[in-house]
Structures are given as C-alpha cells and as structure tokens.
Structure 1
Amino acid sequence: MTTPDRSNLKPISLWWRPQTPNPAKVVIILEELRLPYTGKFVELEDLKKAEFEAVNPNGRVPAIHDPNTNITLWESAAIISYLIATYDTTHTLTYTDAPNAFHLQQWAYFQASGQGPYFGQAAWFLLYHPEPLPSAKDRYVAETRRVVGVLDKWLGDRTREGNVWLVGNKMTYADLMFVTWNGAVGLFLKLAGREGEWDPEKEFPHFWKWQNAMMARSSFQKAMSLAKVEDVHN
C-alpha cells in the first residue's frame, strides 16, 4: 500500500466513547503521529444497532475509517498496527529490525489478550455485574496485579540494563498501548471501595515510573480530556 501524502491528509474518522481505555489508546497514537482525525461519538444504545454494526460487526468502539486509504478497521490493536505501519514512516514509535519488531508485537499481543481483558473483567465484576460474586472479583483483581507484576519485573530488569521502556531504548506504540488500562486500575478499585489494595508507587516502582512518564505526555492528556458529546477534532 502506498503511503498517503502527509501534506494533504483527510481526517481519519474515529468512532469512540470518552475516557474509555480502548478508544483512548487509538487517540493517543493519532496524537503522537500528529494525524488529523474527527470523532464520531456512539451512544451505548447505538452500539448494537445495524448502522454501527455495519462499521464494526462486534458492536464496540473503537473503529476507524481512513479516507486516505479507504480502509475501515475495528479492534484497537489492529487499528494501532495499521496506523503505525501506514503513517510512522520515520519509525518514531516503532522498530523495524529483528528482534525488536517482533518483541513489539509480543508486548502488543500481551496487552490485547492479557492486560485489557483481565482489567476489563475486574472493572465489570467490581462495578457492574448485577450479582455479587466475590470469587470473580478476587480473581480478576488478582490477575490485574499479576499483569502489573509482569510489567514491573520486566521494566526493573530493563532499568538495570540502562533502559526504561519495554523494547529498545525509546518509547514505542507497545508502551503506549498499556497506559490507558493501567490508568483505570486505581479508579475502578477506588469506586469499589478497594483502593487500599492498590499502592503501585510502593509495590511496583518500575511500573509506576514508566506509567507516569507516559501519563505526562500531551497525547495522554488529550485522550483523557475529550468532551462527551462533541466531535473530536485534531
């Protein structure tokens, strides 16, 4: 696929909901790559309607349509992979050499298959499930802590080698894929009255430093500050 001319890009359409981890992941990458985009806010009751399912048959956000390449995509990890492959021509957020490129995929798959689903289930059972299921709550809180522990140990080992990112010596899309779900942990535990179980600065210091470095970026701040019903523009 030919790389679109960046001097004349049309805005990418993003179907989204505000301050939601998976759409926010895509906003962060769009911001980091300085791509123009326009938001299409989707009400909860519209996610399973035919109009939106024509965009995403799974009936969830995010999804994108890129008029510059005429491609429509859903699933945040697939969208991010596409944006990086298509628009990160200077490799600002990626590596193309082996083994780094494959290690990036490794962490991206871990985020999409491990971190996101486990953290999401923790939030669901703690806050939304209609029946109180203590065993489910405890399981997914424990899995959340386990995933954070994996990240903390890896980052600790990397720090001792002089690096502070998951792969190589720079922040990449793989790091940024984790930041929004990481940021949700303290909130859903607090809302569930379990904030005493979450002290990452003390328990997971390498994770804590890494997370805060990403949260300080303007791309994260933009993703977390988007309005509820207004279209998103960049």
Structure 2
Amino acid sequence: MIDLYFAPTPNGLKARLFMEEAQLPHRLMPVALGKGEQFKPDFLAISPNNKIPAIVDHEPAGGGEPITLFESGAIMLYLAEKTGRLIPQDIHGRAEVLQWLFWQMAGLGPMAGQIGHFNVYAPEKVPYAIDRYTRETHRLYGVLDQRLADRTFIAGDFSIADIACYPWIVPHEAHGQNLNDFPNLKRWFDTIATRPATLRTYDGVENVYAPRQQAISEEERRVLFGQGARP
C-alpha cells in the first residue's frame, strides 16, 4: 500500500493521476496547505521541503523498510519503474519520456505556477510580473503545441510525460492562455480530459487557480507564501 500526501494543486494531481492510470492501490492523505499542515513534524519527516505531493511506499520492490519520496517528478519516475507502467522499457523511448518529464518540472510548472500566483493570489497587480510570466508560459505552450503537431501524445505512447504536463494545462485560463491558439495542444488536452482515470482524478476536485469570490486571509497568505528558512 502507498500513502499519497495530497492537495489539489497541479503537482498533487500529477501523482494522483498516475495512481489512477496505473490502478495502483493507495491511501489518500489530505494535507490542508492553508492551515499549515505541511509544516507539521511528521510531514516534514517525509517531505523536508514542506511541499506536496509526497508518498510512503510500505511495500517497496524487494521488500525492506518503507520508502518515502517527495517531489512529483521523482515520485512518478519511481512509481513508473516500480510498476513497469507508463514509461518505455527501451533506452531511446525512456530517454524521450524523461526529457519531457524534466521539461515540465523545470519549465512549464514553475512558469505556469508564477503566472497563476500573480493572476490569482497576489494582493495587487504587478504588470511587469504578469507580462513576463504570461509571455513565458505562452512560449512553453507553443513548445508543447509544436511537439504535438505530428503525434497523439508527447513521447510515443501515453506516459508520465503526459501525466506530468496535463494538470499544468488544466488552469490555462488562470495562466492567461487560450487553448484555441494552440490547436495541437488543445486536441491532446481534450483527449486526456476524457480518459477514465482523468475523470476519476478530477471528480469533485477544487480548482485552486479559479478566480476567488473572497480574498484569502492574511493568515492564509502568510502560511502559503510568507515562509522563510526554518531555523
């Protein structure tokens, strides 16, 4: 059994989507980020970066002590290797998937996360930041659109590369992007949106980047965005 420490952010949804696609038995362990549960000592023992997702695999391959992992990319690579699912076994296919997994981790996620923050959570509009991150996210959407011009999925068959990217395209409106500007990306997005595992993953899930009727409290803002290094 695997414990999945989860909140409905794009990174959390990546890990949950893998579990559903691979039909991997797991326990969902909700982490209330706005209440600061990510700073509790028992969670920090699993995820020292105080971020979700994180997992505890109580039955690692070969037996032995439970394995704990944080960082969504590391989690998906670990689970793909554990299950033999959603990653090619040949060296060329594996390399292709891995480069797009790391592209998401290093580019799409951070840039889309920044524009999501400045569009939805920032207490005041910062025009330079909004322009900067909107443009860079637009460029990255374009990279993915071009990649998908002659293929159904990002790297051959459906894989962890697609699972990594999809939850970061879901909040495209909060990113200031129109999917109609990216026809190949939109076709890919619509294809994944109808997969049974995707429907199960997103059933009842709150969109954390949706426009808010009421601003978050100052305490929530401090917990979510005001942390420095811990002594």
What TM-score range do you get, normalising by the shorter chain? 0.7 to 0.9
Secondary structure of the equivalent of 1:122? helix
Aligned to 1:12: 2
Aligned to 2:214: none
Secondary structure of the equivalent of 2:115? helix
Please say if 1:109 is aligned against 2:102: yes
Under a length normalisation based on structure 2, what TM-score does the superposition of the two structures give? Answer: 0.82
User: Comparing both chains, which one has the higher relative contact order based on Cα–Cα distances under 8 Å and sequence gaps of 6 or more?
Assistant: 1
Q: 1:153 to 1:227 in 2, by over 3 A?
A: closer
Q: How many Å separate the matches in 1 of 2:68 and 2:155? A: 29
Q: CA deviation at 1:199?
A: 2.6
Structure 1 gaps, min length 5? 1-10, 190-196, 229-234
Please say if 1:167 is aligned against 2:117: no
Count residues in correspondence: 199
Q: 1:226 to 1:64 in 2, by over 3 A?
A: farther
User: Which portions of structure 1, spanning 4 or more consecutive aligned residues, are displaced by more than 6 angstroms?
Assistant: none
Structure 2 gaps, min length 5? 61-65, 207-231
Please say if 1:74 is aligned against 2:70: yes
Secondary structure of the equivalent of 1:185? coil
Paired AA for residue 117 in structure 1:
P
**Which of the numbers 142, 147, 165 marks the counterpart of 2:140?**
147
Q: 1:226 to 1:65 in 2, by over 3 A?
A: farther
RMSD of equivalent CA atoms: 1.5
Paired AA for residue 173 in structure 1:
I
Q: How many Å separate the matches in 2 of 1:132 and 1:198? A: 18
**Which of the numbers 177, 199, 205 marks the counterpart of 2:178?**
199
Paired AA for residue 98 in structure 1:
I
Task: Map 1:55-66 to 2 at 5 A.
Answer: 55-66=46-57
- The answer to whether the 8 Å contact 2:96/2:155 transfers is yes
